[in-house]
């Protein structure tokens, strides 16, 4: 077997021990006569798996009791449509801060349901910065303010939680959830697809302050109603049980490794190493994001000559470093270095980059 260091932006690398445990338990889950993926979601086996995953996520992220946790399908994109449906009246204003591609998709999904007010955007500057909070022109009666905590493609990350006063802050944490300690109580809603930092694709976590679930929202089918999902314990319909189980294994792994404080330490070390190679390359490699908001999770970078992209990718692959091609919207390269990417993987990439520069300088 030759597992590479996988820098994919998502679905992304998972800890080998988690994959091995899933492999061990694949045919039969703990003497229960069947795989967990073959058990009813209403049976005691899966109910235990689901409850443990939630309890472990709550411990990991220090989620307060007045917050509900939902495990849904549909990905982050579906939540981007459900958020206005659940938390805003039809046509009510909702404020959006756009710091990259995913802020724009959030607006696209919300537009049929709310009057979107883009209160700040860094698009004119190519999404290389985050407009200062002081420059945001918040609406008077906004239902909520939406931000993207970490922009996966542009590599731009909020390093502080912006203060939006009494207006609930809704944050897309798809690519940075549980990567460092976060004060959940500063948010109205945190949502994230699992496929970067929490586990496999196919399950989405929505952490919501319970009082917000009392909002009437808009006319919508029951399956689009977060309050109904809570009442039904995220089992209004058949949930993605395998993905939920895998997420649970990953939560246990993160807790055993030392929790979010330890991952914050590792993530800072990994990011600092990679940016130092880029910045120290004399322009051979380039990342143009403002230093204060550079992402610790996704590091987009460009080689000084596009003609080097192909050899860079093929030589990296031969060196056991995979999935470094940048998103098609930006081109260039991108190294996604989520929680499950070990420090050794980033060291190997840093060494490879220095070596490549020497050989192709």
- Rounded CA-CA distance 266/270 in Å is 6
102 is catalytic: yes
- Report the residue number, 13 or 174, with the smaller CB distance to ligand PMP: 174
Q: Which one from 29, 95, 172, 242 is the annotated catalytic residue?
A: 172
- Report the residue number, 177 or 353, with the smaller CB distance to ligand PMP: 177
42 is in an annotated binding site: yes
242 is catalytic: no
> CB 361 → ligand PMP: shortest distance, Å?
34
Q: Where are the beta strands (DSSP E) in 210-313?
A: 285-286, 298-303
Residue that the structure tokens 């039904």 belong to? 232
> CB 176 → ligand PMP: shortest distance, Å?
8
Interface residues with ligand PMP (CB under 6 A) are: 10, 75-77, 102, 148, 152, 172, 174-175, 193
Q: Which one from 102, 242, 244, 253 is the annotated catalytic residue?
A: 102
CA distances from 287 to 237, 279, 317 (A): 44, 8, 21
**What angle do helix axes 101-110 and 75-87 make, rounded to 10 degrees?**
50
194 is in an annotated binding site: no
- Residue 226 DSSP code: H
21 is in an annotated binding site: no
- Report the residue number, 36 or 203, with the smaller CB distance to ligand PMP: 203
- Report the residue number, 152 or 243, with the smaller CB distance to ligand PMP: 152
Q: Which one from 29, 56, 196, 242 is the annotated catalytic residue?
A: 196
Which tokens belong to 113? Answer: 């349901």
> CB 102 → ligand PMP: shortest distance, Å?
4
152 is in an annotated binding site: yes
- Rounded CA-CA distance 335/323 in Å is 8
- Rounded CA-CA distance 194/57 in Å is 12
Residue nearest to ligand PMP (CB): 75
Q: In what order do the strands lie in the sheet with 93-98?
A: 67-72, 204-209, 189-193, 169-172, 145-148, 93-98, 115-121
- Rounded CA-CA distance 124/126 in Å is 6
196 is catalytic: yes
- Please report, in range form, the residues annotated as the binding site for L-glutamate: 42
- Please report, in range form, the residues annotated as the binding site: 42, 76-77, 102, 152, 172, 195, 237-238
Active-site positions read 102, 172, 196
- Please report, in range form, the residues annotated as the binding site for pyridoxal 5'-phosphate: 76-77, 102, 152, 172, 195, 237-238
């Amino acid at each position: 077997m030759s597992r590479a260091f996988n820098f994919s932006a998502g679905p992304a690398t998972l800890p080998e021990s988690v994959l091995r445990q899933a492999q061990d338990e694949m045919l039969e889950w703990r003497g229960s006569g069947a795989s967990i993926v073959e058990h009813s979601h209403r049976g005691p086996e899966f109910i235990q798996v689901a409850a443990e995953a939630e309890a472990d996520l709550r411990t990991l992220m220090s989620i307060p009791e007045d917050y509900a946790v939902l495990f849904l399908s549909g990905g982050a994109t579906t939540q981007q449509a459900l958020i206005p449906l659940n938390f805003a009246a039809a046509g009510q204003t909702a404020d959006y801060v756009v710091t990259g591609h995913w802020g724009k998709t959030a607006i696209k999904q919300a537009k049929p349901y709310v009057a979107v007010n883009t209160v700040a955007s860094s698009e004119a500057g190519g999404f290389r910065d985050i407009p200062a909070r002081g420059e945001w022109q918040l609406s008077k009666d906004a239902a909520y303010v939406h931000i993207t905590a970490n922009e996966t493609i542009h590599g731009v990350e909020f390093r502080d939680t912006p203060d939006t006063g009494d207006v609930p802050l809704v944050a897309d944490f798809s690519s940075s959830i549980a990567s460092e300690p976060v004060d959940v109580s500063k948010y109205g809603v945190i949502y994230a697809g699992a496929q970067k930092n929490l586990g496999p694709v196919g399950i989405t976590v929505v952490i919501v302050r319970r009082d917000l679930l009392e909002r009437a929202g808009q006319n919508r089918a029951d399956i689009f109603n977060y309050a109904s999902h809570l009442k039904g314990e995220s089992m209004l319909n058949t949930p993605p049980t395998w993905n939920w189980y895998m997420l649970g294994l990953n939560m246990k792994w993160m807790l055993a490794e030392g929790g979010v404080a330890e991952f914050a330490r590792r993530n800072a070390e990994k990011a600092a190493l990679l940016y130092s190679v880029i910045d120290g390359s004399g322009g051979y490699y380039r990342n143009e994001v403002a230093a204060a908001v550079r992402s610790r999770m996704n590091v987009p970078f460009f080689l000084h000559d596009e003609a080097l992209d192909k050899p860079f990718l093929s030589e990296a692959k031969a060196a056991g470093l995979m999935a470094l091609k940048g998103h098609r919207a930006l081109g260039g390269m991108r190294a996604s270095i989520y929680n499950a990417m070990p420090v050794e993987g980033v060291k190997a990439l840093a060494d490879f980059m220095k070596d490549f520069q020497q050989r192709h300088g």
